Amino acid sequence: MEQRRKPSPTIDQVAAAADVNRSTVSRAFTRPQMLSAETVRRVLDAAERLGYAPNHTARALSTGRHRNIALIVPDVANPYFPPLIRAVQREVDKADFCLFLGNTDEDPKQEDKLVGRFAGQVAGMILASSRLPEARIRAHAAVRPIVLINRDVAGIPRVLIDSGSGVEEAVAHLAALGHKIIAYVTGPSTSWSNRQRLQAVRRATERLNLKHVTVAATAVPSFDAGRVTAKQVLRTGATAAIAFDDVTAHGLLAGIADEGIDVPKRFAVVGCDDVLGAVTQPALTSVSNRAPEAGHAAFTLLSDMLQSPAIRDVRYVLETHLVVRDTTVR
């Protein structure tokens, strides 16, 4: 049952088969226009025949350039990220790159470790919702191209989904429905989006002369985190809550139902990121999700950085809007 894998052919074997020099084979693959059409054909032919494909590793070592990029996210299984990953994937693919995926579990230490692990085999990295301290981000960005998603660090190219705009719409919507006290259920304290949403709630409630309270959920956003928070939210006297994300909002909804309180008649709930669509019961009002566009933009940015080594201070902002469904008004 033993079986040896045959080593893949090298550039030298192709050179021999095509009766040319190694450099000619190399050129046939990288800059064919430098060679006579006839030679190119002969080389490619031989390569085809031998099943030769340039060795990424050797090429990278020689040029110092990799055709890989890494995408690091806090939690693959959080429904927010797969569409983002998907979008990045698609662009990476078009560019004929390979994608490394890293999962930090919302842990800055783990994130730091991953950045280190990927370093040296990628052309650049995209950090989505990075939980790293600003200093670490700057340190990494000084050494290699980095693009941030949902993290605002001056001087580092970043793509920001401005959920603030959508959250302000949400507060206005709730105000119009007559709510006077609005609760915000928090997400990870290291999350830029969380801070942004919290600030938007503050700003909007103040402007509209409403009260707001914030209720802390556990560190990692989850259905259960939202659910156990329900009682506490109800005790604040709020009649409406905006949750850090849809998953938390979904749990909150369940927790409120556990208390026998009708949504939206006696309590209104708004989520963020609109990842659950109409699957909750009642269908969740939420702030729109532009993660796929963010993924696309991030790769485009990174791609630009790879072309021109000048570091540019790009701040790409995507606005969001409120998507009204049945948890706020029937």
Nearest to 182 by CA among 123, 243, 226, 127: 243
**Binding partner selected for residue 35 from DNA, a copy of itself, none, CB under the kind-specific 5 to 8 Å limit:** DNA
How far from 9 is each of 21, 24, 35, 52, 54, CA to CA, in Å?
15, 16, 22, 5, 9
| Nearer to DNA (CB atom), residue 77 or residue 143 | 143
Phi, psi of 68 (to 5 degrees): -120, 150
Asked if 121 is part of the footprint of DNA (rule: CB under 7 A), the reply reads no
| Nearer to a copy of itself (CB atom), residue 113 or residue 266 | 113
31: enclosing H helix or E strand: none
CB of 75 within 8 A of CB of 245? no
**Binding partner selected for residue 76 from a copy of itself, DNA, none, CB under the kind-specific 5 to 8 Å limit:** a copy of itself
Asked if 214 is part of the footprint of DNA (rule: CB under 7 A), the reply reads no
| Nearer to a copy of itself (CB atom), residue 140 or residue 173 | 140
**Binding partner selected for residue 94 from DNA, a copy of itself, none, CB under the kind-specific 5 to 8 Å limit:** none
Taking contact as CB under 7 A, which single stretch among the options 6-14, 70-78, 146-154, 213-221 is the one that binds DNA? 6-14
| Nearer to a copy of itself (CB atom), residue 32 or residue 54 | 54
| Nearer to a copy of itself (CB atom), residue 196 or residue 289 | 289
Q: Concatenated DSSP letters for 73-87? A: ES-TTSTTHHHHHHH
| Nearer to DNA (CB atom), residue 58 or residue 317 | 58
Q: Find the shortest distance in angstroms from Cβ 115 to DNA.
A: 17
Q: Find the shortest distance in angstroms from Cβ 39 to a copy of itself.
A: 24
Q: Concatenated DSSP letters for 274-290? A: --STT-SSSPPEEE---
| Nearer to DNA (CB atom), residue 62 or residue 214 | 62
Q: Find the shortest distance in angstroms from Cβ 31 to DNA.
A: 7
Among 16, 22, 121, 136, binds DNA (CB under 7 A): 22
| Nearer to DNA (CB atom), residue 1 or residue 143 | 143
CB of 76 within 8 A of CB of 101? yes
How far from 234 is each of 48, 248, 252, CA to CA, in Å?
69, 15, 10
Q: Are strands 158-162 and 315-319 parallel, antiparallel or unpaired?
A: parallel
Task: Give contact residues for a copy of itself (rule: CB under 8 A).
Answer: 1-6, 8, 53, 55-58, 60-61, 66, 68, 75-77, 79, 81-83, 85-86, 89-90, 93, 96, 98-103, 116-121, 142-144, 250, 276, 279-281, 309-313
CA atoms within 13 A on the CB side of 158: 21
CA–CA gap between residue 228 and residue 240 (Å, rounded) = 16
51 sits in the region (left: phi over 0; alpha: psi -120 to 50; else beta) called left
Residues 29 to 68 in contact with DNA, rule: CB under 7 A: 29-30, 34-36, 38-39, 52, 54-55, 58-59, 61-64
Q: Find the shortest distance in angstroms from Cβ 29 to DNA.
A: 6
CB of 174 within 8 A of CB of 180? no
Among 16, 26, 101, 257, binds DNA (CB under 7 A): 26
Cα 131-137-138 angle, rounded to 5 deg = 155
Count interface residues toward DNA (CB under 7 A): 29
Q: Find the shortest distance in angstroms from Cβ 3 to DNA.
A: 19
3-state secondary structure of 316: strand
Amino acid identity of residue 89, one-letter, is Q
Residues that bind DNA (CB under 7 A): 7, 10-12, 19-27, 29-30, 34-36, 38-39, 52, 54-55, 58-59, 61-64
